[in-house]
Amino acid sequence: MTILGTTFAVFFSLLQVVSGESGYAQNGDLEDAELDDYSFSCYSQLEVNGSQHSLTCAFEDPDVNTTNLEFEICGALVEVRCLNFRKLQEIYLIKTKKFLLIGNSKICVKAGEKSLNCKNINLATIVKPEAPFDLSVNYREGANDFLVTFNTSHLQKKYVKVLMHDVAYRHEKDENNWMHVNLSGTKLTLLQRMLQPKTTYEIKVRSIPHDYFKGFWSEWSPSYYFRTPEINNHSGETNPILLTISILSVFSVVVLVILAYALWKKRIKPIIWPSLPDHKKTLEHLCKKPTKLQ
């Protein structure tokens, strides 16, 4: 019995060792996999292809093993309950006309049927506009300024028409010294006196939703480069408007001097210094004896 009991004890010990090297280790791997960080971020773009909207999601940790991982959106959809994303390298993308754009949708990272991480997101609050384009800068010599113009595809869209634009410009050699101007239109005036002469500047623009829709800054537009002219101090080059104003001013002063001289004694001087009566002569005149008639 002792030999038989020892044999069974050795057998069970070996069985536990084998189980620990196989099944238990696999369960540990699953637990480690569950500890991975599946946090993600998403942004929506409306009317990117006609009436189609897009939703793009990506993991915040670029080292996450995305094999067998999927994204799914449910809720706030038209005619369907859920939709699956299409994987494109490091991002997950979906294009559809079925976004309701009202209320929250539930977006989940899934491995098979198991949800690893979920977020409730309103697609109207994570809008990322398309980047502006056709940026240009024109120098207006008469006004001594630069007219900045650009275009945006959102001017022709039904949704996300109200945007705030951020125009950034800098001296070409000052890599980190950007100057920013926020505006709601697509035109901006830069005064020449605020810029350095004979200098190349880089300028670019981006947009963000500014009204019912909320979200993120768009990508920057392609940069545009312009050069400021040299300041002209030559006496031979005179602004015709300033010259005309100067001539009229001189002519007006001459006319006023002539009129003042001509009207000084009769009109102007009596008003400024009125003549005072001589009291002595007045009394003599009153006290003068009347002459007798012969």
pLDDT band at 231 (very low <50, low <70, confident <90, very high): confident
Using CA atoms, how far apart are residues 44 and 65, in angstroms rounded to an integer?
A: 24
Residues of the chain with CATH 2.60.40.10: 133-232
How many residues are given for the chain? 294
Measure the CA dihedral 261/266/270/272, to 10°. Answer: -20
Nearest to 205 by CA among 151, 156, 250: 151
- Average pLDDT value over all residues in the chain: 83
Residue 25 has pLDDT above 50, yes or no: no
Element (H, E) at 108: strand 105-111
Read off the tokens for 231. Answer: 């300041």
> Under 8 Å CB-to-CB from 61, ≥6 apart: which residues?
37, 39
Q: Reduced to 3 states, what is the DSSP secondary structure of residue 93?
A: strand
Taking domain 133-232, whether its CATH number is 2.60.40.10 is answered by: yes
State the CATH architecture for 40-122.
Sandwich (2.60)
CATH 2.60.40.1870 placement within the chain? 40-122
Starting at the edge strand found earlier in the chain, the sheet holding 133-140 runs: 133-140, 145-151, 187-191
Long-range contacts of 251-258 (CB under 8 A, 24+ apart): none
Contact present, 138 and 116 (Cβ < 8 Å): no
- Has this prediction a pTM greater than 0.85? no
DSSP 8-state assignment for residue 280: H
The neighbour count for residue 146, using CB atoms within 10 Å, is 21
**136 token code pair:** 């240009």
Beta strands 224-227; 200-209: pairing state: antiparallel
Task: Tell me the pLDDT tens digit for each residue of 36-94.
Answer: 689 999 999 999 988 899 999 999 998 999 999 999 999 999 999 999 999 998 999 99
Confidence of residue 29 (pLDDT cuts 50, 70, 90): very low
Segment holding 33, helix H or strand E: helix 23-34
Give the model confidence (pLDDT) of 168-196 as tens digits: 999 988 888 999 999 999 999 999 999 99
What's the token pair of residue 59? 């993991």
